[in-house]
Amino acid sequence: MSQLVLGKLRKMMWMRSLFGVLLLVLLVPGTLILGQEEMVPDNPHNLRIFTRFDGATAVAELLWHDGSDNELGFEILRSDNGGEFQVVGTVGVNTAHYDDKIGKYVTGPYVFKIRAFNEAGRSEDSNIVSIWL
């Protein structure tokens, strides 16, 4: 066989093996494509807040709708008396509830928001809710 024919045969075999790998990646669930990055989770929404007291301790009960299916958890952020938001807690995957025990004998405005996170980053923030104690 001539070198030209052998070269064409090698190229065809290489193309067939490449096609087979691509077909495998497309047809087998959970197969990752090289260079594919995980997406940042969608943001949680419909954040709601309720207050209650456990004795003299004020508790902010937060409930939300989990808008993503790829989060590792959620960060709960709180702003006290108009200050910057600080992370005050985290909860795990598929959680839609958090009780923040704010403290005893506290007064003033408290503002909350949450966001989902995973290896790719953090989602956009949820809507903001507030209470006055």
**Domain coordinates in residue numbering, the chain:** 1-36, 45-132
pLDDT digits (tens, 9 = 90+) for 92-124: 999 999 999 999 888 889 999 999 999 999 999
The span from the CA of 74 to the CA of 115, in Å, is 6
Predicted pLDDT of residue 23: 42
Q: How far apart are CA 129 and CA 110, in angstroms?
A: 8
Q: What is the CATH number of domain 45-132?
A: 2.60.40.10
The model's pTM: 0.71
Residue range 20-31: mean pLDDT, rounded: 47
